[in-house]
Amino acid sequence: MAKEQRKKRVAPDVIREERLKYLTDERRIKAVTVLFSDLEGRLHMLDYDKKFLVKSYDNLTFDGSSIRGFTAQRESDLRLGIDWSAFYWAPADVFGAGKVLVFGEVIDKNGGTYSADIRGVLKKFADEQYASSGYTLNAANEIEGFLFEGVDAERNFYQTGKFEYVNQGGYYHSLPGDPLREFIDTTAEVQRAMGFENEKDHPEVAPSQFEINYTYGDVVTAADQIQLYKLICRQVATQMGMSASFLPKPVVGVNGSGMHTNVSITKGGKNLFWDPKGEEKISKLAWQFTDRILTHGNDICLLLNASVNAYRRLDPHFEAPNQIKASATDRGSMVRIPIGNEKSARVEVRSVGPDANPYMVLYSIFKTGLAGETAKIKNLRQAERYLPDNIYTAIENFRGADWTSKLLGADVKGRYADLKQASADRCPRLLGTIVKAPEVQFHHDVYNQLLWNIF
- Note the pLDDT tens digit of each residue in 66-111: 888 887 755 677 899 999 999 999 999 999 999 999 999 999 888 8
Which domains occur in the chain, in start order?
Answer: 2-114 (3.10.20.70), 135-453 (3.30.590.10)
Torsion of CA 64, 236, 159, 311, to 10 degrees: -70
Say which DSSP state 336 is in: E
- CA-to-CA distance for 401 and 387, rounded, in angstroms? 15
Q: How many Cβ atoms sit within 10 Å of the Cβ of residue 446? A: 23
Residues in the chain predicted with pLDDT less than 70, given as ranges, are 73-75, 170-173, 205, 316-319, 455
Element (H, E) at 212: strand 209-214
Q: State the pLDDT at residue 171.
A: 66
CB proximity list for 434: less than 8 A, separation 6 or greater = 252
Q: State the pLDDT at residue 455.
A: 65
Q: State the pLDDT at residue 172.
A: 59
Whether residue 117 contacts residue 105, with contact meaning beta carbons closer than 8 Å, is answered with yes
Q: State the pLDDT at residue 34.
A: 97
Q: State the pLDDT at residue 65.
A: 82
CB proximity list for 392: less than 8 A, separation 6 or greater = 424, 429
Q: 3-state DSSP call for residue 211?
A: strand
Angle, vertex CA 324, rays to CA 323 and CA 330, nearest 5:
55
Q: State the pLDDT at residue 406.
A: 98
Short-list 102, 141, 107, 142, CA closest to 124: 107
